[in-house]
C-alpha cells in the first residue's frame, strides 16, 4: 500500500466513524475509485481527500455521488451528484499554483475559477466550488448569480 492509498484509507475510516454505518459501502466505493484513478496517475492526494470528504457529506445528505465523473469529450467533473431528479456538479479547488504561474498566482487562480464555472455549470442544474477554509476564491460578482439571472443581465 503506497502513501496515497494509506491516506485515502485513513480518511475513509474517519468519515465512516463520523457518518456512521449507513454509508460505509458508498465511502468504500469512492475510496476504491480514487485508488484506481491514482494507479492510472489521474488524481493527486490533496484533491482526492477533498473529493472524498465532500462526497461523503453529499451522500449523508441523500445524494447519489460519482467522483471524477466523465461529462463529454475530455471534461470530467470532480463530483457529480443527483437528488430528487436534479443534478449538481462540485468542482474542488485546492489553490495549487504551478511554478509557471508563480509571478502572478492570483490572476492564474481567478482565471482558473472562472474557467471552471464557464465549463462545468452548463452540465448540471447546480454548480458549486469546494475549497478548504484557508483558500479564498476570487469569483467575479456576475458569476455568483444563477445562470438564469446572468442571462437576465445580458
pLDDT at residue 134, rounded to an integer: 77
pLDDT(74) > 70: yes
Q: Which domain holds residue 147?
A: 3-153
How many domains is the chain partitioned into structurally? 1
pLDDT in tens, 11-52: 999 999 999 999 999 999 999 999 999 999 999 999 999 999
Predicted TM-score (pTM) of the model is 0.87
Please answer whether residues 131 and 137 qualify as being in contact, where contact means their C-beta atoms are separated by less than 8 angstroms.
yes
pLDDT(75) > 90: yes
pLDDT at residue 46, rounded to an integer: 93
Average pLDDT of every residue of the chain: 91
End-to-end C-alpha distance for the chain, whole angstroms = 53
Strand order in the sheet with 86-92: 64-72, 75-83, 86-92, 126-130
Helices (H), 1-104: 3-19, 24-39, 45-60
Amino acid at each position: 500500500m503506497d502513501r496515497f492509498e494509506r491516506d485515502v484509507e485513513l480518511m475513509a475510516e474517519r468519515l465512516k466513524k463520523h457518518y456512521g454505518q449507513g454509508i460505509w459501502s458508498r465511502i468504500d466505493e469512492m475510496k476504491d475509485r480514487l485508488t484506481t484513478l491514482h494507479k492510472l496517475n489521474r488524481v493527486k492526494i490533496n484533491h482526492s481527500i477533498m473529493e472524498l470528504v465532500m462526497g461523503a457529506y453529499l451522500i449523508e445528505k441523500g445524494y447519489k455521488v460519482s467522483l471524477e465523473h466523465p461529462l463529454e469529450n475530455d471534461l470530467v467533473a470532480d463530483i457529480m451528484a443527483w437528488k430528487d431528479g436534479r443534478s449538481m456538479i462540485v468542482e474542488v479547488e485546492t489553490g495549487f499554483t504551478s511554478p509557471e504561474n508563480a509571478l502572478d498566482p492570483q490572476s492564474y487562480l481567478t482565471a482558473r475559477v472562472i474557467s471552471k464555472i464557464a465549463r462545468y455549470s452548463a452540465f448540471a442544474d447546480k454548480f458549486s466550488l469546494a475549497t478548504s477554509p484557508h483558500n479564498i476564491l476570487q469569483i467575479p460578482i456576475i458569476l455568483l448569480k444563477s445562470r438564469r439571472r446572468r442571462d437576465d443581465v445580458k
